[in-house]
Every structure is written in structure tokens, then in C-alpha cells.
Amino acid sequence: MAARGLGLLTSLPLRARRGQVQRPLCRLLSCPGTVAAALGREEQSSGSSETGSEDRTPKKRFSEVQKERREQAQRTVLIHCPNKISEKKFLKYLSQHGSINNHFFYESFGLYAVVEFSQKESVASLQNVTRTPSLGTEAAIPFRSRYFNLKLKTPLNQTSEQSSMRCRNQSSPSSKKLFELLCCAESVDDQLNTLLREFQLTEENTRLRYLTCSLIEDVAAAYFPDCTVRPFGSSVNSFGKLGCDLDMFLDLDEIEKFSTHKASGNFLMEFQVKNVPSERIATQKILSVVGECLDHFGPGCVGVQKILNARCPLVRFSHQASGFQCDLTTNNRIALKSSELLYMYGALDSRVRALVFSIRCWARAHSLTSSIPGAWITNFSLTVMVIFFLQRRSPPILPTLDYLKTLADAEDKCIIEGHNCTFVRDFNRIKPSGNAETLELLLKEFFEYFGNFAFNKNSINIRQGREQNKPESSPLHIQNPFETSLNISKNVSQSQLQKFVDLARESAWILHQEDKDRLSPSNNQPWGLAALLLPSVANSMSLAKKKKKPASERIKNLLESIKSESTENSTATNG
């Protein structure tokens, strides 16, 4: 989504040349106690952008992060506020129910406040003084949720009572803003890290995602007490960007954990349950009921669609207050395990996320990916391709999944539906990489590697970190890390794959040309990552195809000639 409109970049003025850097000012939050944290995150991200540097801060396990976020969400409320409100009086009113850990404001079909209390009891205290609205001719369906609507008994007349609150931005930067930031960067490495900082999920956006799952859990708990609604995918794997969808699944396994068979003498007690012919039918019936509840009783849930005949049945809806497009599945534990694996890979080296975000942005700028299902490459496939590429470096930047499996202990063992999903979860047992390559080099080599990859005969496999013979005839074969018989890119057509290869070769050529012309000044020309996001790359290719010239072969020959020139020069220098 964020890469749309990049065609506007060609008409924008270049604010600064390389070497004339103007740093953008940090955006401050309106909430006490979070400004310093935000600045600390900025410093940490900029400090860890050193190429190949190891992040010395202790890394939390994925399960620890999930547990902390879930507990945080259970102490949090979502409040729809009047547009004119005194922040000081608002917080004083809520403080009657208990101390407040954190809060922030944002806009989405009105003004909203996310308020985290120190204790869960404070939420119950607030619920006890909250009334069901009277709607006159209409009838309200009573539901005791943590999503409130605040009204003022008497409107604020004095503007002095209104605080100058700032709403935290929940969207990625515009194309114009992104272009300016990239052109003000000092290096290609700086460009990639800048794009990461601007597009990654903020602390506030992450809190809002977990809170939304917690609110949906409140609805589902009416039928399934002790169930859990967990986010997965981009929202939790550290590769999500602002504006991405919220994938969640209804975890009913927690209920079964309470039903451990404890024999008492000769007696064994079981619940009376309904029986259905298969697990799939059970899933469809559960989601159908939950979908009905969300549609009729879920505050803020609109546009509910029950897509029950899909390979993975789901309920799709929009959560109006948060602005998220949500997909709800049930017992999708393998997807959560895949999210944990990507989270680990993203945390092992500071270059991984920067490279993935840039490749994804590049792909979206040239319509290689799309939010509409079809024959396009998905963001998940691109992420796995980046991981595979980093496993192939010398020395490797990321370990293979099989190696992570050898480091696992009994606590890490995980078998889901017959699939071995075991890998080490303790970061301290993984040796950091000794590879110190720059992001600029990795970006260029990524395009070169896949621009010349033998997709016609080889598949991509991050379990072993090496090419393998394709087990099927799909144009692009990327093995599912856990369900190894599946191809996560089976949907990709030959024409879309060829488009990816052509663009990868041309992007590699652009970066090579910049290397050759580095000594000459580039007054008004975009450079580095900014140049790769311009639509002129795709346009030049389409023109070449109209002239019946094989663009990809032409660029491949250019790359080979550039390589041979550099080899000859280095040989002469050594001689």
C-alpha cells in the first residue's frame, strides 16, 4: 500500500545531494512516559544500523513477547472521545479507577484513546460505572466490552481547557515524504535503514493490534470461555509495515489444557459435546458462530464475511475503531510457528529486516506484489527469498532451519499436526554471524543472485539453505518451512516470475552503474534505493519489449561485461 503513487516521484524536486544531509526531526508523542521510549527506540535503531553489528541488547523469546503483550492488552481499554477534550481532565477522571501505565491518542473515524491501566481490576471498575446508551427509537444490544464511548455532559466552552494533544500517526509516509528522506540519506545503507524506520510498526500500532485481538477474544469467550485470540503473521513477526492487515486465530487448545484427565478412583468425567464428521466441519461451524457474533454483537466490527469454503476457513471483517482489516481463523498453530521463525531471523542480525522491507517496497513499487489475491509473488515468499539469499552468503548471515533444529533441546520440541516444527528458541545458543557485508552490497547481490537464479530447475529451501531440484512444474517453487510438501509460491505465474527476474537484473545494473559513476556528481538524479523505486525502470523495460529486444538478456550481458571489467582492473592492480 505504501508504495502506491511512487510514479509521482519523478516530478518531485531533489532537496539535497549526497553529502548535504538534513536529518528529519523526531516526531514526539503526546503521552507521558512514552517520549523517552520513542527516542530510545530511534537511537537504538540508528545505532544498530552499523553493517554487520551485533545487537547487544538481550533478545526476548517470541513466547515471552506474546505473553507480555497479551497481559498488557487485558489491562487496556479503547475509548472513543469527543473531538474537543481536555487531556488532563480526561486522565484525572480515569485515574479514579486506578493508576495509568500508558496512553496515546489516534484518529480513525473520530478521535480515540488507548489507555493501559496498571491493574486489570481498574478495567472492571470502569465497566461498573459505564451505562448502556439509550438510543430513542432504536434499540441497543447490551454488551459489556472494553470499547467505550465518552460523552461530555457539558461541552467545553473555553479553548484554554483543551490540551494541545498530538495524535500518533498510524500510517506509513507518503511517497513524497519517503523520497525526500531517501534523498537526504548519507549512503545506501542509511537509505535502507531510513525506510525501515518509517515503515515498521510503531509501539503504539503494535499495542493497538494486540488490543484489537483482545477485544475480539471478549466476544468469542461468550461461546468459548478460556479461549485465546492470538495475532500472527506480519503483526508479530517483526516484518509488518504500517497499514498491514491483522491476521488472528482463535486458539481453542488452551481450553483442552484445562481438561487434563485426572482419575479419581474408578471414575473419569468428560464433557458432553456435539460430534461432527471432521475437524474441518468443526472449524467451519465454530467460525460461522463467531462470525455471526461479530456481525450482530461485536462493537466496531463491520463488513463481516464468512469465507468458510477456503482451504483455510476464515472470517474477514473491518475493525472500524482501529482501522484494521482483520482475518480470523481457528487453531492455525503452524502459522504462528512460522511467525516465530521469522521473528527469530529478523532479530538475529540488524540487516535482515532492513533488506526485507526494502525488497518488499521495491516489489510493490513495480506491482510485483498486490493486496488482491492472484498470480503475484507474496510478501511471505519475498521474505523467505531474502532469508535464503542471506543463508547463501559466505560466511552465512543467517543459519539454516535444520541447524536451528540441531540446537534445540527438549523444551523446544514442537510437533503440530504431524509436522516437525522444532527449532531453538533461545537466542543465546545461536552464534552470531561473522559476515560484515554492507546493506548496499547485499541489495545489489540480491538482485544479481535472483536475476540469474535457475528457477526453471531449482527450488528454494531455507531448511537446508541450498538449491534443490524442483519437485513440481510450478514456475516458482519455495518450500514451506514446516509443511515441506507445500509450495508457498504455487500461485505465481510464469509471466510474473519473468517480470521479477527482468526487474531484478535491471535493478542490479542500475546499482552497478552507480558504482562506476560514483566519482562524477549527480546533481538532480535520484540515487541508490530511491532510483530503484522509480517507475522508469519498468517503463524502460516495457519500451524495450515493444522494440522486440530481449531486455533481460541485454541487462544480463551488461552485468557480465561490468564484472569482467572489474575483474581485469583488480588483476592489473594486483599485478
pLDDT digits (tens, 9 = 90+) for 221-266: 988 988 999 999 999 999 999 999 999 999 987 655 555 555 567 8
Q: Is residue 501 part of a domain?
A: yes
pTM of the model: 0.83
The whole-number average pLDDT for the span 446-468 is 95
Q: 355 in a domain, yes or no?
A: yes
- Residue written as grid cell 521473528: 343
Residue-range definition of the domain harbouring residue 374: 175-198+349-398+433-515
Grade residue 78 by pLDDT with cuts at 50, 70 and 90: very high
pLDDT value of residue 43: 38
For residue 539, the model assigns a pLDDT of 46
Dihedral over Cα of 31, 35, 37, 38: its sign:
positive
pLDDT at 31 over 70: no
216 by Cβ neighbours in 10 Å (0-12 / 13-18 / 19+) ranks as: buried
Cell of 368: 510485483
Residue 573 located in a structural domain = no
Assigned domain for 389 exists: yes
Residue 294 lies inside a defined structural domain of this protein:
no
Count of domains in the chain?
1
CB atoms within 10 A of CB 489: 24
Q: Answer whether residue 363 is part of any domain.
A: yes
Position 423 in a domain = no
Sign of CA dihedral 283, 318, 377, 48: negative
CATH number for 187: 1.10.1410.10
Chain CA centroid to CA 528, Å: 24
Return mean pLDDT, the chain. 82
User: Does residue 29 register a pLDDT over 60?
Assistant: no
pLDDT at 2 over 80: no
pLDDT, tens digit, for every residue of 476-533?
999 999 999 999 999 999 999 999 999 999 999 999 988 766 544 344 578 999 999 9
Q: What's the Rg (C-alpha) of the chain?
A: 26
**Residue 308 domain-assigned?**
no
Q: Please write the tens of the pLDDT for every residue from 338-390.
A: 999 999 999 999 999 999 999 999 999 999 999 888 899 999 999 999 999 99
Condensed to tens digits (0 to 9), the pLDDT of residues 99-134 reads 999 999 998 888 999 999 999 999 999 999 998 877
- Say how many residues make up the chain: 575
Q: Are 367 and 507 in contact (CB under 8 A)?
A: no
Q: State the distance between the two ends of the chain, measured CA to CA, in whole angstroms.
A: 52
